Chain A
Amino acid sequence: GAVVSQHPSWVICKSGTSVKIECRSLDFQATTMFWYRQFPKQSLMLMATSNEGSKATYEQGVEKDKFLINHASLTLSTLTVTSAHPEDSSFYICSARERGLRTQRRGTGELFFGEGSRLTVL
């Protein structure tokens, strides 16, 4: 089946530094990638939708200047947490929607998830 690779799987950083997380679709082209955040014992929350070649669409309450998303190619999206603070410590997960004319029209392409990245900011 389709595979989405997320890297790094865990990262510890000092407060004030920036951290970049990569999400790659390994065997398919993904016109749309999604970034989520999950705090302990809480549900996933969509942070932003990333479309290849265009600006990301951020959900309400998510700071676009703090969480920089780049989707420069059909197989790679990156999330950069800028000037990280302890409250940014969380589990970040990406998913990718496979490109295809049929699925694009219907907007219901299957989602494939990365393994997640656990960020701890000291």
Chain B
Amino acid sequence: KNEVEQSPQNLTAQEGEFITINCSYSVGISALHWLQQHPGGGIVSLFMLSSGKKKHGRLIATINIQEKHSSLHITASHPRDSAVYICAVSDKLIFGTGTRLQVFP
């Protein structure tokens, strides 16, 4: 069993839909990161969380330390949101396998 599990692995949505990606981990962490990787490979750090909730534009990330679970939400999804979303936990960086999101117009 991976130390960081993401679900779903693949996600298809229509433009405008509300999207949720989940991440569960089994190790102690100091922070959890949500990353976005575009087809070219470049990675953007979306959020770093150690507790509670953060919001940036249409993106919301929450974390429940007791349950060792985090969610990434995208409101009013758009085709440009299509990417692979990766959850990673630190201090020692352990990555989830990613969730491939495709949003169709």
Contact = CB atoms under 8 A, between A and B. Distances in A.
Interface of A: 34, 36, 38, 42-46, 91, 93, 95, 106-108, 110-113, 115-116, 118
Interface residues of B, number: 23
Contacts of A115: 40-42
Q: From DSSP, what is the main secondary structure of chain A's interface residues? A: strand
Contact of B48 (A42, A91, A108): A108
A14 B43 CA distance: 28
B41 A43 contact: no
Interface stretch (B20-28, B64-72, B74-82, B92-100): B92-100
Q: A-B pairs with the 9 shortest C-beta distances?
A: A113-B43, A108-B31, A115-B42, A116-B41, A44-B95, A43-B97, A43-B95, A108-B30, A46-B93
A112 B44 CA distance: 7
A108 B93 contact: no
A78 to B, nearest CB: 19
B50 interface: yes
